[in-house]
Structure 1
């Protein structure tokens, strides 16, 4: 009887042992690792166990050891883009995990709220592209919606090869970004989509970062937490949808959010700088952060929409950031979700190709207000990012206003001269300030010669 008990106890120990060598959900078959980089890898095993890793692209043996909490971590050094490869992980109990069909390429994190989450199935230009989306070198990892009061570690999600079926409910903006990147770089592209419609930016920032800043905390308190479709408390989405994937190596981040922060726009640039700084620290990587300026929409309160757009231009002061302006891509200003996502994704790709990958001859930056000068009852506005000049579509430039010392703004006539615009109004003899597209739903017609729209701005404060 004693021998039977010992035998059964041994079987129970073996069964328990089989479940001990574990990896975060991010490390799985079909994954893509960032090329030519130190790539952190981590997991759990028995306490104080030797961990040995073999990768098929190299003959080096990587060794580490789990601590007394069962956690282990080490670093893989990846080759230039290619694959497929395998990664074999063993512990000293003989347990083993083999990751198959691992590709090496460029990995981008895609985050934000509903316009980033918007799927290929839902997008106005997604279904046709979806039917043709057999792209074995594009891999998709979708992080399930989740929130938590404390940091989570394992996470949820599965890597999938891009097919019409797997991309159907995946982020359309992300896919179109990846498709253009893959066509231009000819390397595998990995996308990690972690987005949640309606979430304010505070939910994506570590809670301690918000609590430590009085202005950010006051703005966060305006959010409340009564939305039935998503949480609004600081840090709770970061805990469950970002923390489980840090410090995975990424090439950069795409961000499409801001609609849910229009109730407290004045601190948005500060909030996003806090988010970007925190994420770069968590990912151990000073990665580029490219984002989409929110689109014209009628139903923001007061000037919330245009003020957020102003803050999103100010975010360019943060190192290694870039903005995509989409004021011309709106088919219905009463819909907070512009239907066509392909041009948004492709503009993001152009920004990455130009700024991250050093490709030349790709127009990627919208003209931005630089300075103003009063000239005999008129104001001349000068723009950056317009080396070949400006143009207007459908007639003279629209959406300009001009004011004198009385601060009353009048509709203005505008004339393009090179990379400048001369603005005037008969009601204003001695102008001091200009505003352009200064309302939540403005769709102006001023562009660079390359076809990129000029975002809203004001010369006063």
Structure 2
């Protein structure tokens, strides 16, 4: 009998070895699926292999054939919030995903202020540890990962919230999710993708940065540094692209400090990122974000300009901005420790705008208009129907200028939702600014307690350097 060479035998054997059906990390036991959604299930298999899927909430058998390149994907309608459920996926092998909940899923992303957790020495989180265990809050933490090209998988696993898992999970995300879980009374899944020091460009597909001359030129001003990526697309490719097939309710975002070197284009870069994410998820995702906190960046206006650019992003539909200037104890620390109230304020935006709850105070008072009469300026504000209050005898960080553009400290008189502003040195005022330096912390708020957002009435150039 003719014997086949060893290499030929190995080749024949290899041809008959079939690959197991595989799933990405984000599809696993303990996960939370978005309720009442067309949820994608996907993975890898033999080309042409028939994959059968059974979800225990309907016990219906769905099936799909693997593509020629060994991928499969199917959309399964999810029910109203509930669980736990089981999903069985069967091809040549069988995968059983158990302890699955259906509820609300949010991506929580940004740089270090989103990344901060109990191990950073946060007292609010430490106080939560003895009582934080909640099987209806689930975490999926994506470790720092970069790539030059979009990836279809990333490291990570779904875990239930307990004291061990919370220690290394985003504090802002946790307090946001805890509030949603309490108010909505549904399971909440939180996907954290954050990396301290990163600029917004790395979270945006590179072609959307390099294909726009303004953004490309601006990105070239970013300063390379050891410890974090700065090239466009690197974090999007490694940490966002792999989860974009996964249905979510929306995203929360805390970032901006990493863009002080090119602050003047932040609004365009950020809105471009939001548009890219919405396109990737094929949904008009709500994005609620945090305006960066006061910090002593130096003699230039870099922090002020980032905050102004962030405020402009509010013009984009389905976005909301949280002001945190009143939550800062030390302007020499770029990492304020109060993440509890940041998370609650983000959750209030979501409850009001995404889930349509009423009676929630969530919008900061914002500048609306001005009127000059003699040596006084009358300013009116939105989101202050109950009126404004001033903490202390004198308004802080409020300044006024005439045509010479020299600003002087101003006095303010509150009349409902209006400020009457003046200064003895300015006889013919033309402009008013509030909290318009890098480390400025004001003392005016709405009667509901939310701080007045930084504003200026002029459009004079703010030099970045």
Provide the rounded CA distance (Å) in 1 between the counterparts of 2:159 and 2:263.
37
Q: TM-score, normalised by structure 1?
A: 0.96
Distance 1:275 1:101 in 2: 34
Q: Which residue of 2 aligns with 1:314?
A: 312
In 1, Cα distance between equivalents of 2:401 and 2:410? 9
Alpha-carbon distance between aligned partners in 1 of 2:281 and 2:150, rounded to the nearest angstrom: 15
Kindly report structure 1 stretches of 4+ aligned residues shifted beyond 4 Å.
Answer: 5-14
Query: In the alignment, does 2:357 pair up with 1:378?
Result: no
Could you list the per-position Cα deviations for residues 438-459 of structure 1 after superposition, in whole angstroms to 9, with x for gaps in the alignment?
Answer: 1000110110110001121111
Secondary structure, aligned partner of 1:69: coil
For 1:76, the equivalent position in structure 2 comes to: 76
1:217 maps to what in 2? 216
Q: How many residues align?
A: 456
Q: Decide which moves more: 364-373 or 394-403.
A: 394-403
> 1:20 Cα shift?
2.7
Q: Is the 8 A contact 1:398 1:414 kept in 2?
A: no
Q: Distance in 2 between matches of 1:395 and 1:344?
A: 27
Could you tell me which residue of structure 2 aligns to residue 206 of structure 1? 205
How much has 1:7 moved relative to structure 2? 10
Structure 1 Cα separation of the partners of residues 403 and 212 of structure 2:
36
Matches of 2:219 and 2:249, distance apart in 1: 30
Match for residue 51 of structure 1? 51
**2:47 and 2:132 mapped to 1: Cα distance?**
44
Aligned to 2:41: 41
CA contact (8 A) 1:262 1:301 kept: no
Alignment root-mean-square deviation, CA: 1.8
Q: Give how far 1:376 is off.
A: 2.2
Gaps of 5+ in 2: 460-465
Aligned residue for 1:328, secondary structure, equals helix
Q: What residue in structure 1 maps to residue 410 of structure 2?
A: 412
Spell out, residue by residue over 1:228-278, the C-alpha distance to the aligned partner (whole angstroms, 9 max, x if none): 110100001100000111121110100000001011111111111100000
For the 8 Å contact 1:120–1:130, the answer to whether it is kept is no
SS in 1 for 2:24: coil
Q: Give TM-score, length-normalised by structure 2.
A: 0.95
- Please name the residue that 2:356 is paired with: 358
TM superposition shift of 1:40:
1.5
Aligned-partner Cα distance in 2 for 1:395–1:142: 46
Q: Which residue of 2 aligns with 1:445?
A: 443
CA distance in 1, matches of 2:430, 2:212: 36
Whole-angstrom CA distance in 2 between matches of 1:282 and 1:319: 17
Kept in 1: contact 2:223–2:261 (CA 8 A): no
Is the contact between residue 371 and residue 378 of structure 2 (CA under 8 Å) also seen in structure 1? yes
Structure 1, unmatched stretches of 5+, are: none
Query: Which residue is 1:136 aligned to?
Result: 135
Name the CA distance, whole Å, in 1 between partners of 2:298 and 2:243. Answer: 33
Conservation of the 8 A alpha-carbon contact between 1:224 and 1:233 = no
